[in-house]
A and B are shown apart, each in its own frame.
Chain A
């Protein structure tokens, strides 16, 4: 880990990788939340449309029409369940005939939000009306419970017996499959993962390539030049590349040339003095390559 490449690349790679992963996870979480909220809002609107479209049949106590409407809705692809409870919690109409006339526990998910306290809540926001669960078939479901409110037309209708002070007459419970949403999120997750990997390859690869081209190769050439100059070979020009390395190379070259000149002067002085010319001492260890 003493090489310049490791020292420069490791912190950059760790910082970029970590931050991109954190940002991607949070972005995915934001998008997931937005898509889920949007799906719930659509489902609340759908529940409102169903309640409105059954209003006429309810006012005329047309139970056969209501049964047909709920049954037809339940047959649509993507609809996991559709049912209407009365205010006592008994299933009055359901796409699954086996559920009809069964009482629902008020502590169940979807009921508890209103029946948490002694006096049941009559108004809930769209997000509080929604619940997510896995049904007995193993399908992921987003369900909405929409209250069916008492209206002046209901309490005053001849056929009916609802008292005017009863605020909620019943509840529509509709559950849609969350599988399309999950498939979209899974695709989004994969695409984000691929995008992250591409960003990382480009960033880390780019830093590595630039370091190698601009720093590592000139340094390797400089080390080779320094080793050659130590052995007395000063014929090669100093390596170029970047300004600092070039200046260092030129300094090494001038130092080697001066040393060579001094050697020659020393030899000529020794020759004039009648001493045998000694050879230049062998260079010390070369620079690490």
Chain B
């Protein structure tokens, strides 16, 4: 939330005319919180779109040429990718829960979207995506849902507080 003067006390006692800019600021803050809350939904929607492509094994993309494979080198072993996915899921969930406990307004869904796309890419490159698609999908849905819940919960509480403030200013 942005810093602004305390509307209680002196400012509430001022005339209704003086409260206009403050009311506008509160409304702007409510709009910002709504937008922040919607980010979680956008993150989930983009991940589901990406997963639709992954479920088809990205068959709409051109396959890697011999030259490209020679440049990129050998794919990492599938077991290592899976172990990395478990470690990543565990640490991501722990971090999200601890951020929920602190009550911060940061949304880290975009970086998770990047990590999850990386896992899809590595499985695809190792030609093991069909066997491991559901693991990445379940991890992504869980992490992004929890991110969404955390930001939605924070924003709902903040919006409620702002609306109460707006009500007091309108009195």
Residue ranges of A at the interface with B (Cβ–Cβ < 8 Å): 1, 7, 10-11, 14-15, 17-19, 21-23, 25-26, 29-30, 32-33
Contacts and interface: CB of A to CB of B under 8 A. Distances in A.
Interface residues of B, number: 26
Provide the main secondary structure of the chain B interface: helix
Nearest to A23: B86
B146 A25 contact: no
A19 B146 contact: no
Interface string B130-155: 01101100110111011001100100
A243 B153 CA distance: 28
Contacts of A11: 97, 100, 146, 149-150
Contacts of B145: 14, 18
Given A1-B156, A22-B138, A15 B132 contact: no
A139 B33 CA distance: 57
Contacts of B89: 18-19, 22-23
A29 B135 contact: yes
A29 B143 CA distance: 21
B93 interface: yes
B85 interface: yes
Contacts, number: 61
B93 A19 contact: yes
Contacts of A21: 138, 142
A21 B141 CA distance: 11
A267 B58 CA distance: 83
A103 B105 CA distance: 69
Given A29-B131, A30-B82, A7 B93 contact: no
A15 B90 CA distance: 9
Residue in A7, A10, A17, A26 whose Cβ sees the most chain B Cβ within 10 Å: A26
B4 interface: no
Given A23-B86, A26-B82, A29-B131, A14 B139 contact: no
A18 B141 contact: yes
Chain A interface secondary structure, helix, strand, loop or mixed?
helix
Interface of B: 78-79, 82, 85-86, 89-90, 93, 96-97, 100, 131-132, 134-135, 138-139, 141-143, 145-146, 149-150, 153, 156
Q: Which 5 residue pairs are nearest across A and B when measured between Cβ atoms?
A: A18-B142, A25-B135, A21-B138, A22-B139, A15-B93
A18 B143 contact: yes
Contacts of B131: 29, 32
A26 B141 contact: no
Nearest to B94: A15
A15 B146 contact: yes
Given A17-B142, A23-B86, A25-B138, A7 B153 contact: yes
A18 B86 contact: no
B146 A14 contact: yes
A14 B143 CA distance: 9
A26 B149 contact: no
Contacts of A33: 78-79
Contacts of B149: 10-11, 14
A21 B85 CA distance: 13
Given A18-B89, A22-B86, A30-B79, 9 more contacts: A14-B149, A15-B93, A18-B145, A21-B138, A22-B138, A26-B82, A26-B132, A29-B131, A29-B135
Nearest to B79: A30
A164 to B, nearest CB: 36
B26 to A, nearest CB: 21
Contacts of B85: 22, 26
Nearest to A32: B131
